[in-house]
Structure 1
Amino acid sequence: MSGTGEVGALSDAALAAHLAEVAGRILLQVRESGLFDAKALGKAGDQTANQFLCHALRAARGNDGLLSEEEKDNDDRLAKSRVWIVDPVDGTREYGEARVDWAVHVGMAVDGAPVIGAVALPGLDGGIVLRSDQPRVVPPAPDRLRMVVSRTRPAKETVEVAARLGAELVPMGSAGAKAMAVILGQADIYLHSGGQYEWDSMAPAAVALAHGLHASRIDGSSLVYNQADVYLPDLLICRKEHAGHILDLIAGMARQD
């Protein structure tokens, strides 16, 4: 694609996927430059990818709102129906350590709902982008369920639910990588209660919903984006047939506390 006219002609979903894929390539080039140690690399990658994504979105969709983890927030977005929400590097630590479990999130909320999403996983062999407009067939669950958890600080509630389900814990880095692991058949449940922000879950939730998965808060309520307070601390992504039981377990644990 040679110019903004061609990019502007893309559908919203195709634009999200294109930007996530290009940002992923940029991040790999920043890392491969060899100019940064692991700590500095995360900051350099975040800022470089953020500049690309924000400039590109303003050029292609200048009338829409924009919220990025790495960009100063502008309250003007609150009056917009269509708001792009991006995380230039989800899993900065994993990116800096040259692991595969990091992601780029590009998505759009419409009237607060996660409608459009693309999650790039550039660290995987060849890199892949999972997108809301091109759903894949989600592999069937095995006899023993698998739950992705933080590889550094798994939440107490998550570990307890996994124990009650008899689920295997699968440590993993970024939120996007965890959510996409369910789609890719590497896991069956992504339950998070340790604190997140809108950019951590918006694109993954849109992609998960488009693939026929359940995506909600851990009390079962809907995920709502483009809020004045962008703190959105919890998330459940899983197959629909497992959602009711998991939500009941969480509610029961809350009553016991």
Structure 2
Amino acid sequence: MATDARLAAELAVTAGDLLLDLRNQGADDLGKAGDFASNELLLARLAAERPDDMVLSEESVDDPARVDAERVWIIDPLDGTREYAKPGRPDWAVHVALWQRGAGLVAAAVSQPALGEVYATDNPPTPPPRPARLRVLVSASRPPRFTGPVAEALDADVLTMGSAGAKAMAVLRGEADAYLHAGGQWEWDSAAPVGVVTAAGLHASRIDGSPLRYNRPHPYLPDLVICRVELADKLLTAIRLSGGLED
């Protein structure tokens, strides 16, 4: 039997391949079709491979019984639906994570099918050395209000990109040094990316520095900081001094 981390990676890749096929076929209402098909594949595979576990998915009705479960898979079958539906955009992903009672996120994988890449907790890459000038990633459509003041405080360039998973993996690859979000998210948006980046030794927290907690009764988890460990204190201080915690 595959380990949980290997299963997460396999599922993320398989769902990603399905999404690429749909994209190449030019399916009608591509975003909706991709969300549905990927979700159905992941649910069927998890039911077969881990029948005793529960699932929290963006594309399925939430079962409140998961809150008392020992193991819950937290999945986003297609993170970055808008980007996926636009020809040529690579900044979308598939998220598969496993939460376990008493241990938190114990396995996770993020695939970026358009790049042919998958990142998993059992074999995360080592982030490359930090460049001289910092780069901070934010959402193109919902950048945090405090983005400007924080970038100025850190003397950093601001970059934009779609998909939470794509932004988190860009930090992991060293294409950016931090990812900030404060415009509203759900557990499935961050669980797998957080599992992968923390396995690689990066920092991940709420914007006030508190831990990211999963499998909560209401799975709203609105803000996020992912960055190199050596930047965390400076970044969190800059957010606090900018008034970002007052939003």
| TM-score strictly above 0.5 | yes
The C-alpha deviation readout for 1:141-181, integer Å capped at 9, x for no partner, is 11110011112232212332122211111110000000000
CA contact 1:114–1:223 (8 Å) conserved in 2: no
Q: Secondary structure at the match of 2:105?
A: strand
Which secondary structure state, in structure 2, belongs to the residue aligned with residue 215 of structure 1? strand
Helix, strand or coil for the counterpart of 1:123? helix
| Distance in structure 2 (CA, Å) of the matches to 1:178 and 1:169 | 12
- Answer yes or no: is 1:18 the counterpart of 2:10: yes
Q: Secondary structure at the match of 1:156?
A: coil
Q: Over the residues paired in the alignment, what is the CA RMSD in angstroms?
A: 1.4
SS at match of 1:219: coil
Q: Give 2:204's aligned residue.
A: 215
- 1:190 partnered with 2:182: no
What does residue 3 of structure 1 align with? none
Q: Which structure 1 residue ranges, 5 or more long, are not aligned? A: 1-8
Tell me by how many angstroms 1:31 deviates.
1.0
- Secondary structure of 1:142 counterpart: coil
Q: How far 1:256 sits from its partner (Å)?
A: 9.1
8 Å Cα contact 1:67-1:83 kept in structure 2: yes
Distance of 2:198 and 2:90 partners within structure 1: 23
Q: TM-score, normalized by length of structure 2?
A: 0.95
Equivalent pair of 1:114/1:224 in contact (CA under 8 Å): no
Could you tell me how far apart the structure 1 residues matched to 2:207 and 2:78 are?
Answer: 25
1:123 matched to 2:123: no
- Counterpart CA distance in 2 for 1:220 and 1:31 is 39
The alignment of Structure 1 onto Structure 2 pairs a total of residues equal to 244
8 Å contact kept, 1:107–1:117: yes
Q: Does 1:226 align with 2:215?
A: yes
Identity of matched residues, % = 52
Offset, 1:254: 2.9
Q: Structure 1's 21 and 155: CA in aligned 2 closer, same or farther, altered over 3 A?
A: same
Q: Does 1:101 align with 2:91?
A: yes
